[in-house]
Structure 1
Amino acid sequence: MEWLIAAKPVVFLHAFPFSPEMWSLQVAALAGEYTVFAPAMPGLGGREPGAASLDAWAAELDERLEDLGIEEAVFVGLSMGGYLAFRMWDLFPERFAGLVLADTRAQADDEAGLARRAELAAAVRQRGPEVLLDDFYPSILGETTKRGDSEERRAAAEWIREMILEADPEGIARALEAMAGRPDSRPLLPEIEVPTLVIVGEEDTLTPPEYARVMAGGIPEAEMLIIPDAGHMANIENPAAFNTALLGFLEKVYGG
């Protein structure tokens, strides 16, 4: 699903193994004031699987932005979306008016990480997206969400679970392979000279706050914000705090 609403372009890049639906709370918050483009990556969000390459995804995204007449935008990438944002910056830096890196990291996978992705890709191809409920699903939820002390938290956890189960197995596998093939983005950090906001959930154990500090410390004049009571899916687990941070940043980039 994609949205195109008004002016001041914002491009949302979704996480693995989700679809643009994961951004619906942010799209609603931006409605009427910003042009919101939330593309589905190949193999996810109902799209046919494509190349298992973030560089190929970036090239396709650049073409789609050209077709839409979007010359510059603020890119908002969460987790895998952050990896894609780094590839976009490396290949098409002229596209950026600003950058939000949420619950992601700049470093590439180590050998153990590469092995885990390969094993998971094989398992998903054999058994389907249910495989992700074993370890991946619990790992992306913060402790506050896991406790489910409120109806909102329980609904957030269930929504995340449902989106995982809706994902296409081959799309999941190719996304895992695309992420495994990404380069180390830390050398890019000093070159990022557009306004940048680094966001991380306080309870994120996959890409914890120390990873966010590495990115924020390496990017000239980057801001960093920690979202309280949220894990890896901070935009869904604590959307009020996430949206406040995002809207404040967009106002700085585009003006109030």
Structure 2
Amino acid sequence: MTTATTVLDRVHVEVHPSGREVRGAHDAVLLHGIGGAASSCAPLAARLAAAGLTCWCPDAPGYARSQDPHAGIDPVDEIADVVRAVSPDRPVVLLGTSWGGVIAMALALRHPDLVAALVVVDSTRGSGTSSSKAAAMRSRVTDLADRGPAAVAAERAGALTAPDADPSVTAEVRRTMSAVRLPGFAVAAEFMATTDLDAALSSIAAPTLVLVGEHDTITGVDESRLLAERIPGAGFRIVPDAGHVAIQEHPGAVADHVLDFLGNLP
């Protein structure tokens, strides 16, 4: 007799249990960026859990402790299955950073029943907004294959943090990027290269908060502001002294913004 496998057999998920009971609180699912892993979300998840939100942080398919993606995988539907598995009875607060933010917005559009509230951090409409951006994203796959993740991380990690970032944060970003595997990165990059959410943003129905680091030079403040302007009713906040990885540089400030946002929902 064979045992049926589930998405949680393929996708590793870190759980940060709620530190206290908060009546009516939804669980939160935190999605990392294209060079990250579930561990990138851990400092923020710990703070949200202490405030009463059980947080689930998946390693995307092909990242860290998750299995490599199967042929034809749809990363949005795969994460939707993760959401259903960890919170089968209630929609979740879905928080995505960078590439994870694009996944989160696409999921909110495709599976609105799964999302009680949406938080998008240092993100973008996707790299399919222009042919040059799409080509640049695809070229990163070739670069990773040719030079290896350690060399790519050594070159890129410093650009993800603010100029005066804690060196230990930059070192952690570099360590995580150095462990990126080509199968997962290739799927993520192709998803980004083929995605342009511009025309769909006005159809996002979930209450939304958009956050961006003051010194984000990767996706940029203007892109995040555009997301907030196009998503109906979205809030917009800039995280001071943070770069593209605001959730790692200033998890306390990001958590405060998220908790304030959730506390003001009907």
TM range (shorter): 0.7 to 0.9
Match of 1:144 in 2: 164
Please give the alpha-carbon distance, in whole angstroms, between the structure 1 residues aligned to 2:167 and 2:158: 13
Residues 126-145 of structure 1: matches in 2 within 5 Å?
A: 126-133=146-153, 135-145=155-165
Match of 1:115 among 113, 131, 135: 135
1:83 Cα offset (Å): 0.9
Q: Gaps spanning 5+ residues in structure 1: where?
A: 146-152
| Alignment partner, residue 78 of structure 1 | 97
Hey, what does 2:41 align to over in structure 1? 23
Counterpart of 2:15 in 1: which secondary structure?
A: coil
CA distance in 1, matches of 2:70, 2:222: 32
Tell me which amino acid in the other structure corresponds to 1:92. Answer: H
Query: In structure 1, what is the equivalent of residue 63 of structure 2?
Result: 44
**Residue type of the partner of 1:116?**
A
Change in CA separation of 1:76 and 1:211 when aligned onto 2, cut-off 3 Å: same
TM, length-normalised to structure 1: 0.88
Q: Does the CA-based 8 Å contact 1:121-1:174 persist in structure 2?
A: no
Q: Which moved more, 1:129-138 or 1:72-81?
A: 129-138
Tell me, yes or no, if the aligned pair for 1:65 and 1:71 is still in contact at 8 Å.
Answer: no
Give the alignment's Cα RMSD to 1 decimal. Answer: 2.0
List per-residue Cα deviations over 1:134-185 (Å, max 9, x = no partner).
Answer: 543232122222xxxxxxx011111111111122233223322222122x11
- Write the distance in 1 (CA, Å) between the matches of 2:265 and 2:37: 26
1:95-142 CA distance string (max 9 Å, x none) = 111110100012543222222222221121233202323543232122
Q: The residue matched to 1:38 in structure 2 has which SS?
A: strand
Q: 1:1-256 residue pairs with structure 2 within 5 A?
A: 1-3=13-15, 5-6=17-18, 8-32=26-50, 33-51=52-70, 56-68=74-86, 69-109=88-128, 110-133=130-153, 135-145=155-165, 153-182=166-195, 184-253=196-265
Residues 103 and 50 of structure 1: is their aligned pair in 2 closer, same or farther, counting only changes over 3 Å?
Answer: same
C-alpha contact (below 8 Å) 1:14/1:23 kept by paired residues = yes
SS in 2 for 1:163: helix
- How many aligned residue pairs are there? 245
TM-fit CA distance, 1:3: 0.4
TM-score, normalised by the number of residues in structure 2:
0.84
CA distance in structure 1 between the aligned counterparts of 2:192 and 2:126, rounded to whole angstroms: 11
Contact 2:118 2:209 in 1 (8 A): yes
Measure the CA separation in 2 of the matches of 1:20 and 1:34: 17
For 1:198-251, what per-residue CA distance to the aligned partner results, in whole angstroms no more than 9, with x for missing partners? 100000011111111111111222110000011100111122211211221222
- Tell me the equivalent position of 2:7: none
Gaps of 5+ in 2: 1-12, 19-24
Partner amino acid, structure 2, of 1:218: R
Runs of 4+ aligned residues of structure 1 deviating over 4 Å after TM superposition are none
Q: Is the 8 A contact 1:123 1:131 kept in 2?
A: no
Structure 1 residues 52 and 135 mapped into 2: Cα distance closer, same or farther (>3 Å)?
A: farther
The AA in structure 1 aligned to 2:35 is P
Shift of 1:4: 5.3
Question: Which residue identity is paired with 1:119?
Answer: S
CA 1:70 to 1:186, structure 2 compared with 1: closer, same or farther past 3 Å?
farther
Contact 1:16 1:175 (8 Å CA) reproduced: yes
Aligned sequence identity (%): 27
Change (3 A) 1:167 1:91: same
